Amino acid sequence: MLGRGTPDAASGLTAPVGARGLLLDTASAIMREGDVIDISLSELSLRSGLNSALVKYYFGNKAGLLKALLDRDWQTIVTSVDALIAKDGWSPETKLRRHLWKVVDTFYEVPYLNRLTMRVIRESDDAEARRIADCYLSPIYRAYEQLIGDGVRAGVFREIDPQLFYFTVTGAVDRFFSTRLVLKHCFDQDTLTEELRDRYRVHTIDIIMAGILAR
């Protein structure tokens, strides 16, 4: 249960402790469950139990809320990738397999991530778009540069363009986890279950690793 917070003199609102995080969690759940990259403030208020005016209090507007959600989700990913790259004692192949495993799990949890990223970039000015790219997209590309380079030097990977590899991995997971309508109308399956996620994870890792391992 949220505790009482501090009144805001300008708005007259009392912001409950933990309300900001609850708004972000609820927005994420709405987009995940609805397979959308937009939210209704009325639904956000209903599901969170919070006054929708708190969106303005914390984020300025709905666009600010979406940007904050994007920052939160990407910061978790970049931190995880940085920790993996820095891990001692793991071979480049082990690191890449572990990374691909985590990518599939991440898009299962936040299937809207890539679509939301593209939306926010399109709707941002050049400076903000560059910030997003520098903080979240470029670090993933640089991680691929290092992982692939380490693997090539170790003789376990063949020469692969890290830029194209980035698009291959992102496209593989984004396309799958944003296709509920395809599942529904082509395969009579309306839910991305954990069992389907696990099957796709194994399939994706097998396909990608077969393409990069040295022959």
DSSP output for the chain: -PPP-PBPTTT--B--TTHHHHHHHHHHHHHHHHT-S---HHHHHHHHTS-THHHHHHHSSHHHHHHHHHHHHHHHHHHHHHHHHH-TT--HHHHHHHHHHHHHHHHHH-TTHHHHHHHHHHHS-HHHHHHHIIIIIHHHHHHHHHHHHHHHHHTSB----HHHHHHHHHHHHHHHTT-HHHHHHHHS-----HHHHHHHHHHHHHHHHHHHB--
Looking at residue 59, what is its pLDDT?
Answer: 96
Looking at residue 210, what is its pLDDT?
Answer: 96
30 lies in which domain range?
A: 1-60
Looking at the structure, tell me whether residues 124 and 53 fall in a common domain: no
Asked if 6 and 15 touch (Cβ cutoff 8 Å), the reply is yes
- Whether the predicted pLDDT of 75 surpasses 50: yes
The CATH number linked to 200 is: 1.10.357.10
Give the pTM. 0.85
pLDDT band at 11; cut points 50, 70, 90: low
For 35: left if phi > 0, alpha if psi spans -120 to 50, otherwise beta; the answer is left
- Whether the predicted pLDDT of 118 surpasses 90: yes
Last residue of a domain, one of 36, 60, 84: 60
pLDDT band at 1; cut points 50, 70, 90: very low
Of 154, 158, 165, which Cα lies nearest the Cα of 208? 165
Considering its fold, how many domains does the chain have in total?
2
Q: Which residues pair with 90 in a beta bridge?
A: none
Looking at residue 191, what is its pLDDT?
Answer: 74
pLDDT band at 35; cut points 50, 70, 90: confident
Looking at the structure, tell me whether residues 34 and 82 fall in a common domain: no
Looking at residue 84, what is its pLDDT?
Answer: 94
Looking at residue 34, what is its pLDDT?
Answer: 86
pLDDT band at 64; cut points 50, 70, 90: very high
Looking at residue 193, what is its pLDDT?
Answer: 85
Helix (H) or strand (E) holding 104: helix 92-109
Asked if 157 and 213 touch (Cβ cutoff 8 Å), the reply is yes
Q: Rounded distance, CA 128 to CA 172, Å?
A: 27
Last residue of a domain, one of 34, 60, 86: 60
pLDDT band at 181; cut points 50, 70, 90: low
Looking at the structure, tell me whether residues 50 and 108 fall in a common domain: no
- Whether the predicted pLDDT of 6 surpasses 70: no
Looking at the structure, tell me whether residues 122 and 173 fall in a common domain: yes
- DSSP state string for 158-202: ----HHHHHHHHHHHHHHHTT-HHHHHHHHS-----HHHHHHHHH
- Which of 62-71, 150-159, 160-169, 191-200 shows the lowest per-residue confidence on average (mean pLDDT)? 191-200
- Whether the predicted pLDDT of 9 surpasses 50: no
Q: What would the mean pLDDT of 48-75 be, rounded to a whole number?
A: 95
Looking at the structure, tell me whether residues 99 and 196 fall in a common domain: yes
Looking at residue 10, what is its pLDDT?
Answer: 46
